[in-house]
């Protein structure tokens, strides 16, 4: 008996075809990875922006509310100790030698018409157990980070109001809107500006590129007691 062997044709890829397929896959994977990294970078930047702005707004709300009370019902002849000697507190309540572009210190007699829960008890004394009567807000920079801090000068207690910002500035203005940093007794308003710096995302000319940017938030605070007489 004679047997005849029939050969079977086996389908497959050549080395060249495999190399081409691998090259295409590597290109696609690389492009997808680049897009994914860019998307994460954009998201990270937006998160930074959102958190920074929220932090700044909270700080501005607190500072605006409290600084507006500066000079409230100050006793006549109120003085404070400064490096240059004892000085009178201006009607607007600002302590000139402790106010500058990075911080503000002010005085208010918040319990002049009675303490909370005991309205019949009034006081002509500043800082008599009321921690909000002498307050300092200041920009503190440490280890490459910026913080807005509230400190009770009376008790020494401190509270960080914002820690996701990149800077802050206090400007002191008269009724015409001109700078009064050289004579803070003439200030009737304070403008505080807080900013958040956004980092660069990607490279110029590439998809998803975002240039560096700075977001500014500002609050103009009227010193409502600046033109009132003390009692």
Please, what is the Cα angle at 71 between 68 and 74, to 5 degrees?
150
pLDDT band at 189 (very low <50, low <70, confident <90, very high): very high
Look at residue 10 and tell me whether its pLDDT is greater than 60.
no
Lowest mean pLDDT among 6-20, 45-59, 149-163: 6-20
Mean pLDDT, the chain, whole residue set: 81
- Please measure the distance between the N-terminal and C-terminal CA atoms of the chain and give it in whole angstroms: 132
CB 80 within 8 A of CB 105: no
Choice among 43-47, 95-99, 102-106 with the minimum mean pLDDT: 43-47
Could you tell me the pLDDT band of residue 102, with boundaries at 50, 70 and 90?
very high
User: Residue 231: its pLDDT value, please?
Assistant: 43
Average pLDDT on 116-141 reads 68
Beta strands in 113-156 (DSSP E): 134-142, 145-152
For residues 133, 134, 135, 136, the Cα torsion angle rounded to the nearest 10 degrees is: 170
Percent helix, percent strand, percent coil in the chain, to nearest 5? 25, 30, 45
Own/partner long-range contacts of 110-119 (Cβ < 8 Å, ≥24 apart): 110/69, 110/72, 112/72, 112/73, 112/231, 113/73
* Structure confidence at residue 120 (pLDDT): 46
Residues 6+ away with beta carbon under 8 Å from 91: 71, 74, 185, 225, 226, 227, 228, 229, 230
Question: 220 pLDDT exceeds 90?
Answer: yes
Give the residue among 144, 114, 143, 111 at the shortest CA–CA distance from 130.
Answer: 111
pLDDT at 155 over 90: no
Average pLDDT over residues 69-86: 83
Contact present, 193 and 169 (Cβ < 8 Å): yes
CB 60 within 8 A of CB 217: yes
pLDDT at residue 35 tops 90: no
For the residues 188-206, what does the mean pLDDT come to?
A: 85
Q: What is the pLDDT of residue 136?
A: 96
Contact 67, 95 (CB under 8 A): no
Q: Which of 7-11, 43-47, 71-75, 209-213 has the lowest mean pLDDT?
A: 7-11
Separate counts of helices (H) and strands (E) for the chain: 1, 9
- Bridge partners of 165, per DSSP, are 146
pLDDT of residue 85: 80
Q: What is the mean pLDDT of residues 120-148?
A: 76
Which residues, in sequence order, are bridge partners of residue 88?
A: 79
% of the chain exceeding 70 in pLDDT? 75
Nearest-angstrom CA–CA distance, 107 and 163:
25
pLDDT at 105 over 50: yes
The better pLDDT of the pair 215, 33 is held by 215
Please give the radius of gyration of the chain, using alpha carbons only, rounded to the nearest integer: 32
């Amino acid at each position: 008996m004679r047997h005849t062997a029939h050969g079977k044709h086996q389908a497959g890829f050549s080395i060249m075809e495999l190399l081409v397929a691998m090259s295409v896959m590597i290109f696609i994977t690389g492009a997808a990875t680049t897009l994914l990294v860019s998307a994460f970078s954009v998201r990270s930047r937006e998160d930074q922006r959102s958190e920074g702005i929220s932090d700044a707004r909270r700080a501005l709300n607190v500072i605006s509310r409290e600084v507006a009370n500066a000079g409230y019902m100050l006793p006549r002849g109120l003085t404070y100790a400064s490096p240059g000697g004892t000085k009178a507190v201006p009607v607007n309540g600002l302590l000139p030698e402790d106010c500058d572009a990075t911080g503000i210190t002010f005085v208010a007699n918040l319990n002049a018409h009675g303490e909370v829960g005991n309205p019949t008890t009034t006081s002509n004394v500043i800082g008599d157990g009321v921690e909000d009567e002498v307050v300092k807000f200041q920009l503190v920079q440490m280890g490459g980070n910026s913080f807005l801090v509230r400190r009770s000068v009376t008790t020494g207690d401190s509270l960080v109001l914002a820690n996701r910002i990149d800077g802050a500035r206090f400007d002191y203005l008269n009724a015409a809107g001109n700078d009064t940093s050289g004579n803070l007794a003439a200030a009737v308003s304070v403008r505080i500006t807080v900013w958040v710096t956004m980092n660069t995302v990607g490279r110029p000319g590439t998809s998803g590129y975002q240039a560096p940017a700075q977001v500014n938030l500002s609050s103009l605070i009227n010193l409502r007691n600046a033109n009132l007489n003390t009692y």
